[in-house]
Amino acid sequence: MFEGFDDFEVPTEGAHIRVRRGGQGAPLLLLHGYPQTGAMWHKVAERLRDRHTLVVADLRGYGGSAKPATTPDHAPYSKRAMAADMVQVMAALGYDRFFIAAHDRGARVAHRLMLDHPSRVVAAVLLDIAPTREMYTGTTDAFAQAYWHWFFLCQAAPLPERMIGGDPRFYWLKKCGSGSAGLSPFTPEALAEYLAAWTPGTIHASCEDYRAAATIDLRHDEEDGGARVECPLRVLWGEHGVIERCFDALAEWRKRAVNVSGRSLPGGHYLAEELPDLVAEEILRFLTDKGD
């Protein structure tokens, strides 16, 4: 995976972030979701590397990045803290303005980054999410059953950590293999990286990510006073997934962003690994002619 990419760490104010960088062209930050690493982009990266310099980062708490100690308010795992990491990473690499493509938790980090640092992002593509507050306020029995992990992982430590830690491999495979495509999107190399990274430290940090989402992240949303993302935003989601079944994705994003387009793709949640050609095509088409 990522043949020819440099693999290194970048220190930030609150962590150190594992980065894989390669390709050529305008900088594009790629962010992953739960419970994965930047490896989820390996198929798409091969299709983007001739047009973009790709910065593939592991979020704090995941993969090869640091797992900072938490605090009672979960601030070290707020999307604000994670977004600040990414701004600092890109600045350290010499990129003051950049594109973003992000999935799942990474897309929530990207949302916060676009609000907190609007001058940094030229345009963004988000995969298979609706805005966090709208997903909580729009919770139905169908959503709660499908996204049970949202309400499990945010429980006070150490309950979810202990339960997942009893059989972490089973949990990972069950959680990620329960969608419409099963485990078929994951190559053996990527799956090996995901499972190797699924350590007690990552399990705890990922729970903190979800605890932050249910508390301090919502407070930050409220404090925004209705601020909306101003850069061009493309939203893609799987037609066989929960976003399609439970939300009107474009309507929800238009509450949070000024310039939104998007559509469903014929897949499930893990679109970048299930439909890499289509995802790469969507990203390249959308980002073309949007540079400074």
Over residues 150-205, the pLDDT tens digits come to 999 999 999 999 999 999 999 999 999 998 899 999 999 999 999 999 999 999 99
Prediction pTM value? 0.98
Where residue 289 falls among pLDDT bands split at 50, 70, 90?
confident
Q: Is 141 annotated in the active site?
A: no
Residue 154 belongs to what domain range? 6-287
Inside any domain, residue 292: no
Inside any domain, residue 1: no
Report the alpha-carbon distance of residue 217 to residue 133 in Å, rounded. Answer: 9
- Is residue 72 packed enough to be buried (19+ CB in 10 Å), middle (13-18) or exposed (0-12)? exposed
Inside any domain, residue 253: yes
Q: What is the DSSP string of 12-50?
A: -SS-EEEEEEEE-SEEEEEE--TT--GGGGHHHHHHHTT
Inside any domain, residue 178: yes
Q: Report the CATH number that the domain containing residue 236 is assigned in CATH.
A: 3.40.50.1820
Q: Is 269 annotated in the active site?
A: yes
Inside any domain, residue 180: yes
Give me the catalytic one of 58, 104, 217, 221.
104
pLDDT at 144 over 60: yes
pLDDT at 142 over 80: yes
Which among 86, 40, 42 is positioned nearest to 60, based on CA atoms? 86
Give me the catalytic one of 42, 103, 111, 269.
269
For the chain, what is the domain count? 1
Over residues 5-30, the pLDDT tens digits come to 999 999 999 999 999 999 999 999 99
